[in-house]
Amino acid sequence: MASNGEAPIRYEHVLCVYPYRRELNDAGFFPPLGLEFIARVVQPFTRRLDVVDLRKEKGSAVDFVKPDTGMVCFSINWDRDRDILLEQIRGVPPGVLTIVGGRHATEDPQRWLADCPGVAAVVRGDGEEAMEEICRGVPFEQITGLSFRRDGRIVHNPNRQPGPVQNDVFPDRRLRKYTYDAILGGARSGIEVDLIASSRGCPFNCSFCSFSRNPWGTKRQWSARSAQSVVAELEQTHARIVGFTDDLFTYDMDRVGQICDLILDRGIRKNYLVNARLEIAQRPDILKKMEQAGFALLMLGIESAHDRTLRSMHKGFDTARIRQYFTVLRQYRMLLHGYFILGNIGESLQDMERILPFARELGLDTIALSTLRASPHSGLDELVAASPGYHMAPGGKIFSDECSVADLRDLRRRLYREFFTPSQLLQVLRKGLRMSWVGLLPGLLLRLPHIAWHLAAHRRRRSKKHTQERAWRHSAAA
């Protein structure tokens, strides 16, 4: 990757746009990290660079295009609000080099090029290396992982093989114009949150997962930045809570230990949220360091309470081993968050209801329930076709003759209500206080009346929506 001194200035002004208008979920605090990586790569090639998040702005992308803007980059990661995205992209004036990238754009570059005549190219997959080559003026025909227009036709170059992640490439937070606060029921909490990507890829092969593969099916090998690079980035963020976007932060526990040592040596006081595998219970020495360094939440993929399902998923453990691991994990103050999947093939409604007693037995503090969905290259579409009584709805949601999509949604809501009791929430609060979250409380308490009002309004809206959905289903059945 070129340094500032080596890169030729090719643009007076570059605009990087996150074009979504609403949050992906109710949390609402995620910065557009992928776009910020691209901005870091483009930065040496331009005199001025703006990163615009339309969730934080009232205007449209075109409002930020200047007379001397030479390039506009859009990050398209989610399959939602397509009409709004098209409007933003099509609004860029002719003559400005327009590049589109991101996971969702990667899945169907042909469509984005066809629907947006002003788009010069779609960068497929990890975009840093391709964007540097574009900025250096490498001909499009020579850039792997690029789809582009040439002489009235769309050309798809060969896929780019992802290389190792680079220690010197991470977002420059001086370019960030916004703060990202955790949002509770539509109300800002006053707690600033940030994201860091310290590794990419996953070495495991869970059968339901497509995130360890790029959108055209190639396995993304696990590659990590050094502990020194990760902690250097941590020192740049002012946020007290930092989430790691790594598919699996804890794959190399020796590296995790090095990160903890550096955090402790440099006196960095933050709380961290990470994805982890249950096998970390085999390293109590590192778990102790993580607790001391401020790691506050371990997000653990459990997926099912049944051995036959775990075997079919190739998870690498059974329920007995899960219980053994949690005997160790419960000894630490870190919050334990468990992921489970509803609608696993072969599981009845009664099987899925076993999630709650199993979660309580393990001592989980929080849970997340998702419905089984066939993502590109997960292989689940073939499994559904071979499983009598199972079907796939538009968008990839999987359901059965016994449990419809609506039934699974209702089950998910019911299990959440039954799990998150007042005593359960009190348990989470007690652990949070023990993990030195007390420093976050003053700002949160000041905003508590505002948050409570928004939460009440949020519950009223959801209740009204659920009532309307039940009435619609009843009338449709009649």
pLDDT tens-digit map of 119-128: 999 999 889 9
Length of the chain as a residue count: 478
Average pLDDT over residues 234-242: 93
pLDDT of residue 451 exceeding 80, the answer is no
**pLDDT given for residue 218 in this prediction:** 64
d(CA 38, CA 333): 37
The residues spanned by each domain of the chain are: 11-156, 179-440, 447-478
Q: Give CATH for domain 179-440.
A: 3.20.20.70
User: What would the mean pLDDT of 101-117 be, rounded to a whole number?
Assistant: 93
Q: Give me the pLDDT at residue 206, please.
A: 62
d(CA 130, CA 143): 6
* pLDDT, tens digit (0-9, with 9 covering 90-100), for 368-404: 999 988 766 666 777 888 889 989 888 788 889 999 9
Percent of the chain at pLDDT > 70 equals 82
Average pLDDT of the residues in 32-55: 96
Please, which residues bridge with residue 295 across strands?
Answer: 272
Rg (CA), the chain: 23
> What pLDDT, in 10s, does the model give residues 244-270?
999 899 999 999 999 999 999 999 999
Residue 203: predicted pLDDT: 74
Would the pLDDT of 471 be above 80?
no
Lowest mean pLDDT among 119-128, 326-335, 465-474: 465-474
**What type of residue is 388?**
P
The reported pTM is 0.85
Between 25-34, 164-173, 278-287, 434-443, the lowest mean confidence (pLDDT) is in: 434-443
Q: pLDDT category, 428, cuts 50, 70, 90?
A: confident
CATH 3.40.50.10900 fits 11-156, yes or no: no
**Residue 205 vs residues 1, 131, 158, 378: alpha-carbon distances, Å:** 31, 30, 25, 10
**In the predicted structure, residue 443 carries a pLDDT above the cut 50:** no
pLDDT at position 142: 97
pLDDT at 431: 81
Count of C-beta atoms within a 10 Å radius of residue 127? 27
